[in-house]
Chains A and B, each alone.
Chain A
Amino acid sequence: MKNFWAGIRAEIPLLIGVFPFGLIYGALALSAGLSTSTAQMMSSIVFAGSEQFITAQLVYESAPGFVIVLTIAVVNLRHMLYSASLAPYLAALPTRWKGLLSYLLTDEAYAPTIIHYEKEGITSYAHWYLFGAGFSLWFNWQISTALGIFLGTAIPESWSLDFALPLTFIAMVVPVLKDRPAIAAALAAGVVALIAFSLPYKLGLILAALVGITVGTVLEGRKSTRETLPPKDVL
């Protein structure tokens, strides 16, 4: 129980940060053309902020279902990293706990939990920390989505609220453009997305993403083979 509350306490600043996004997501999902029930159910079933924003965008562009599912899969690959990173700490738990904690494993629950584990190591009730962080975030996300949906119905179309979606993506992407490979990945994907825009089924998006990922990975590979020689003063 101590760990459960500690997890919630560590999550509070993140809850405050996430709450407005639940609101925005709820309002946007409606303006993108999702029904109130699908918008809310997506928050409970998928429970992943950026994937939900992207799904809303693709519904708005009337992309076919398989492209949406494929895009969700690509965007979600990073969760395998969190899964891999927490796996050794959760190894001893029964499968139903692993399942529940996996469902609650978001970026915002992962961050404080991994720090906690690295500091405290595995103690007998340590998983309650992740449960506290994950559950409080889940609860917060459901409430903020509902409120956003409620407010969204009141916002007139002339406000161009749909533009808040690409703006959200801009705010997410700019901070990760820290080095040349990342910038190259972003530019390559963007340009291919423009060229391939007229491809059927919105396949241009998937193609552009794959090109961008490849460009970034290849450039990073080159850089690291150059930098494998350790600097002299270390030796």
Chain B
Amino acid sequence: MNIWLVMLLGGLITFGMRFSLIYLFGRFQIPETMRKALHYVPPAVLSAIIFPELFLREGTLNLSFDNARLLAGLVAILVAWFSKNTLVTIIAGMVALFLLQFFL
């Protein structure tokens, strides 16, 4: 699919979701189960992206110490946990990766 088409569809979907219930006010309500499920979209989707980025190198599992991205990712997780700050986390992870790539 062409990237412009992807973007257009993505934009339409995004707009559609934002507009949906403002437009349908009084005629439709979100069911309770879905309201609950929505809560778990961010942890599920984000982890599904993060895990392969950290654990897989060229498509195979790499749990050894020469996997700099895994180690830098763990540093970032710790920093995120304690700082709760997005920018600090990104900078810490990038610095960690840079140092690990340099020394490993």
Contacts and interface: CB of A to CB of B under 8 A. Distances in A.
Interface in A4-38: 20-21, 24, 34, 38
Interface residues of A, number: 94
Given A51-B14, A98-B19, A176 B101 contact: no
Contacts of A1: none
A216 B76 contact: no
A149 interface: no
Interface string B20-37: 111111100110010111
Nearest to B82: A174
Contacts of A213: 37, 40-41, 44
Contacts of A190: 47-48, 50-51
A204 to B, nearest CB: 8
A177 interface: yes
B103 to A, nearest CB: 15
Q: Which of B8, B23, B26, B41 has the most CB of A within 10 A?
A: B41
A208 B44 contact: yes
Contacts of B30: 80-81, 84
Interface in A54-103: 54-55, 57, 59, 64-66, 68-69, 71-84, 86-88, 90-91, 95, 98-99, 101-103
Contacts of A75: 41-42, 45
Given A45-B11, A80-B30, A83-B19, A175 B80 contact: yes
Interface residues of B, number: 69
Contacts of A212: 40, 43-45, 47-48
Contacts, number: 263
B44 A169 contact: no
Contacts of B48: 189-190, 192-193, 204-205, 208-209, 212
B51 A194 contact: yes
A6 to B, nearest CB: 21
Contacts of A41: 4, 7
A122 interface: no
A221 B80 CA distance: 28
Interface in B56-83: 56, 59, 61, 69, 72-73, 76-77, 80-81
A169 B50 contact: yes
> Majority SS of interface residues in chain A?
helix
B39 A71 contact: no
A168 interface: yes
Interface of B: 1-11, 13-15, 17-26, 29-30, 33, 35-56, 59, 61, 69, 72-73, 76-77, 80-81, 84-87, 89-90, 93-94, 97-98, 101
Interface of A: 20-21, 24, 34, 38, 41-42, 45-48, 50-51, 54-55, 57, 59, 64-66, 68-69, 71-84, 86-88, 90-91, 95, 98-99, 101-103, 105, 159-160, 163-177, 181-183, 185-194, 197-198, 204-205, 208-217, 220-221
